[in-house]
Chains A and B, each alone.
Chain A
Amino acid sequence: MSTFIQLSVYGLSNGAILALAALGFVLIFKATSVINFAQGEFLLIGAYTFYAAVLVFGFHWSLAVLVGVLVAIALGVLVERFVLRPMIGEEAVAVIMVTIGLASMLRGGVQFFFGTSPKETPRFLPGESVSVAGVTIPYDRIAAIAIAALVLTAFTLFFTRSRHGIAMRAVADDQQAALTMGISVRRVFAMAWALAALTAVIGGILLANLTGVSQGIAGFGLVVFPVVILGGLDSVPGTIVGGVIIGLLTQYVSGYVGGGLEQVIPYVVLVLILMLRPYGLFGQVRIERV
């Protein structure tokens, strides 16, 4: 039982961060129909920016978070303007490849400045742990779940309540109709990329605190695919459910089965979902028969 609780806490916290990364992914896909293979590198940029701000420049962690947020917004807007906008109307494979190229540039850039060795962890979440019913639960895991939940709630409110959020949903629904209503599709595209980078950077900062700062963080970007396929590529609630399910599943498999199976189980889920229900749990059902 105590193992179960322990695994659940770890699974939930990983799942919450996955959900954050997946949220950015879904945002981009919904608004611009682009699959972003650089999502893991956005996490990486977040973690290293935070590391650099705290440990290299010696900022207070709150200021470092602010720096991270600004870097994320700048990164998102620049990427949209200079890399993705020229690709509008190109084939799917070209758009996928351009984000892969972008991922390579970002990863190489991080490696250029910081090298490949893992870095000291910039801590801002409490490092102690609490004992509940014989289980040690670190505070930082709980805090990560809380922060992720807060950010996810904020985004859900943003989409349902604010003018910009509603404009984004309108563009996702029908670009031409949105244009005729006076919504600037360009601005929405830029905003989608900026927000996606922002969620990823927050996820990266949390990951930096939980697992340490290393190039391995980019690997989280690949696990985003099972999450978004499970939840549905164009569904915001789907990312939360998908993230939590995949996070818990990998932890349970690693705890009870082991043998490295936890690395591959998300992809097995991914293939099964694609075979049985390609639009995921909450995605919009589009039926096409050829």
Chain B
Amino acid sequence: MAATATGVYHRSYTSELALRHTRAERARLVLVAVALLALPWLITPYWLTIANQIGIAVVGAIGLNILVGYTGQISLGQGGFLAVGAYTSALLHLRAGLPVPLSIGAAVITTAAVGAFFGIPALRLKGLYLAIATLASQEIILFAVRNWDAVTGGVDAISLPRLEIGGFVFRKDFHWYWVILIFAVLAVVTARNLFRTGLGRQFMAVRDHDIAAATMGIDVTRAKVFAFAVSSGYVGLAGALTAHYTGIVTWERFTLDVSVLYLAIVIVGGLGTIAGTVYGAVFMFVLPALITRIGQELSASFPDIVQRFPAVQIVIFGLVIVLFLIFEPRGLDRIWQRTKDYIRYWPFRY
């Protein structure tokens, strides 16, 4: 018998490999599914836009977590890869007249290729050096976007027509919710399953110890390039979705701040967990939205507080990252696991 979590035992490999082990887990999955399906009828339009942003961020952050959390390669170039995805899809749709589903697919492939290319420094560089190299790739990609006027239109924003498939126009956030939900669920499921395959296991072996991985016959070079490609593919998808969802593509959406936001999602959620990435995305979008709400409530009684609120947002953003890293480096996912264990064993400590 092997245990995957305390108190959960298995008698066969198939049951050990299963994604859900207990009845409670299956019940929670059903609950979450019902909640996601009912959500757009329950919340206001303002929160629906937040929900859509969260969905897109889940896709992109899962990509980043594959790279940072599962393969151990630090990337600060997330914003650049989002830009590649967004511009590829937007330009292929506008200039080449490709239908949107195809242009999104092309964006995924292109971003994966670009990601693999910028991953080449990772073959020689590790840790801190890699972080700096990816930072440079971000700056170089954004420079190309700003200055390659003939293709990207330079610093001017590109505006896209509303998404239309088979005569149906995706006008409202309500329509987009379903599109984004499908992609977010797909991203979660594929990523969960990736780490049950040989390739996913290779990624984790490289993260845990690259020399040991190499002696076990893993081609570290290949694994790293694949990790960059797979991760960037997800990021490209997130970029393309942003482009078509907002209808406006501009380089200002893809600065270093975005790279930092995505890293923050991954850290706050928990490095190397897919569920954690989702919690992180929800947390990092709902928190600022709540703060903005509080600011609006306060603005009536304290008028001068409103103009300082953006600054407060920035401080709290930094504070959340620092506090999580100091007090719970394994993120929200770990907090959730602990809570579950606490309830399961109550009234015993362990």
Interface residues of A (CB under 8 A from B): 35, 83, 86-87, 90-94, 96-98, 100-109, 111-112, 115, 222, 225-226, 229, 233, 259-260, 263-264, 267-268, 270-271, 274-275, 278, 288, 290
Contact A112 to B311, CB < 8 A, known contacts A35-B132, A92-B127 = yes
B128 contacts A35, C-beta separation under 8 Å: yes
List, in ascending order, chain B residues with CB within 8 A of A107's CB. Answer: 314, 318
Instruction: Establish whether residues A278 and B321, one from each chain, have CB atoms under 8 Å apart when the complex forms.
Output: no
- A to B CB contacts below 8 Å, 20 in the list: A92-B74, A93-B68, A93-B74, A93-B267, A96-B74, A96-B131, A98-B325, A98-B326, A105-B315, A105-B319, A112-B308, A225-B135, A229-B129, A260-B143, A264-B140, A267-B143, A270-B132, A271-B133, A271-B136, A278-B129
Chain A interface mostly? helix
Near A by CB (< 8 A), chain B positions 224-282 give 256, 260, 263-264, 267, 271
Interface of B is mostly: helix
> Given A270-B132, A275-B121, are A290 and B322 neighbors across the interface (CB < 8 Å)?
no
**Beta-carbon contact of B322 and A83 below 8 Å:** yes
Q: State whether B136 touches A86 (Cβ < 8 A).
A: no
What per-residue 1/0 map shows which CB atoms of B160-186 lie under 8 Å from chain A? 000000000000000000000000000
Kindly identify which residue among A98, A229, A263 contacts B321, using a CB–CB cutoff of 8 Å: A98
Is B157 part of the contact surface with A, judged by Cβ < 8 Å? no
Best-buried of A107, A108, A271 by chain B (most CB within 10 Å): A108
Partner of B329, one of A35, A94, A225, A226: A94
Q: Which residues of chain B (81-117) have a CB below 8 Å from chain A? A: none
Whether A97 pairs with B325 at a CB distance below 8 angstroms is yes
Which chain B positions have C-beta within 8 A of A103?
A: 318
Partner of A271, one of B128, B140, B329: B140
The CA-CA distance from A115 to B124 in the complex, in Å, is 43
Closest to B155 in A: A260
The interface of chain B, by Cβ under 8 A from chain A, is: 68, 72, 74, 121, 124-129, 131-133, 135-137, 139-140, 143, 146-147, 210-211, 214, 220, 256, 260, 263-264, 267, 271, 307-308, 310-322, 325-326, 329
Specify which chain A residues have a CB less than 8 angstroms from the CB of B139 in the assembled complex.
Answer: 222, 263-264, 267
**Cβ contacts under 8 Å, A290 to chain B:** 210-211, 214, 220
Pair A108/B314 contact, Cβ less than 8 Å: yes
> Are B308 and A270 neighbours in the complex by a CB distance under 8 Å?
no
Q: How far is the CA of A262 from the CA of B263 in the complex (A)?
A: 28
B140 touches A267 (CB 8 A): yes
Q: What 20 new A-B contacts, CB under 8 Å, besides A97-B325, A290-B214?
A: A93-B263, A97-B267, A98-B322, A100-B260, A104-B321, A106-B318, A107-B314, A108-B311, A108-B315, A108-B317, A225-B132, A225-B135, A260-B143, A264-B139, A267-B140, A267-B143, A271-B136, A274-B125, A278-B129, A288-B126
Q: Is the CB of B325 within 8 A of A101?
A: yes
CA distance A233 to B319 in the complex (A): 28
User: Which of B267, B308, B325 has the most A CB atoms < 10 Å from its CB?
Assistant: B325
CB pair B74 A101 closer than 8 Å:
no
Residues of B within 8 A of A264 (CB): 139-140, 143
A106 to B308, CA, bound (A): 14
Cα(A271)–Cα(B80), bound, Å: 15
From B138, which residue of chain A is reached at the shortest CB distance? Answer: A267
Interchain CB contact under 8 A, A275 and B124: yes
A233 contact set on B, CB distance < 8 A: 128-129
Known A-B contacts A94-B267, A290-B210; the reply to A101 vs B322 at CB < 8 A is: yes
Instruction: Please pick, from B136, B312, B317, B319, the residue contacting A112 in the complex, using a CB distance under 8 A.
Output: B312
Q: B133, B256, B263: which contacts A270 (Cβ < 8 A)?
A: B133
Residues of chain B within 8 A (CB-CB) of A90 are 325, 329
> How far, in angstroms, from A278 to B128 measured CA to CA in the complex?
11
Query: Which of B140, B214, B318 has its CB near the most chain A CB atoms (within 10 A)?
Result: B318
In the bound assembly, the distance between CA atoms of A226 and B74 in angstroms comes to 18
Closest to A225 in B: B132
**Contact assessment for B132 and A229 in the assembled complex, using a CB-CB cutoff below 8 Å:** yes
Contact A104/B128 with A259-B147, A271-B140 known, Cβ cut-off 8 Å: no
A113 vs chain B, min Cβ distance (A): 8
**C-alpha spacing A97/B320, complex, angstroms:** 11
In the assembled complex, the Cα of A98 lies from the Cα of B319 at a distance in Å of 9
Distance in angstroms between the alpha carbons of A259 and B148 in the assembled complex: 11
**Are B143's CB and A104's CB within 8 A?**
no
Q: Which residues of B contact A267 (CB under 8 A)?
A: 135-136, 139-140, 143
Query: In the bound complex, how far is the Cα of B154 from the Cα of A260, in angstroms?
Result: 12
**A54 to B: closest C-beta gap in Å:** 22
The residue among B137, B322, B329 with the most chain A CB atoms within 10 A of its own CB is B322
Select A100's contact among B124, B210, B263, B329, beta carbons within 8 Å.
B263
A residues less than 8 Å from B137 (CB atoms): 271
Q: Write out the residue numbers on chain A whose beta carbons fall within 8 Å of the beta carbon of B317.
A: 101, 104, 108
Residues of A within 8 A of B264 (CB): 97, 101
On whether A271 and B143 interact (CB within 8 A), knowing A98-B325, A111-B314, the answer reads no
Task: Identify which of A97, A229, A260, A271 gathers the most chain B CB atoms within 10 Å of its CB.
Answer: A97
Q: Tell me whether A105 and B322 are in contact (CB under 8 A).
A: yes
- Whether B121 contacts A271 by the Cβ 8 Å rule is yes
Complex alpha-carbon distance, A83 and B323, angstroms: 9
A92 and B132 within 8 A (CB) = no
- List B contacts of A87 (CB < 8 A): 325-326
Instruction: Return B128 CB to nearest CB of chain A, in Å.
Output: 5
CA distance A90 to B326 in the complex (A): 10
Residues of chain B contacted by A275 (CB below 8 angstroms): 121, 124
The answer for the CA separation of A270 and B139 in the assembled complex, in Å, is 11
Q: Inside 8 A of A225's CB, which chain B residues have their CB? A: 132, 135-136
Given A87-B326, A274-B121, A290-B220, A101–B319 Cβ distance below 8 Å?
A: yes
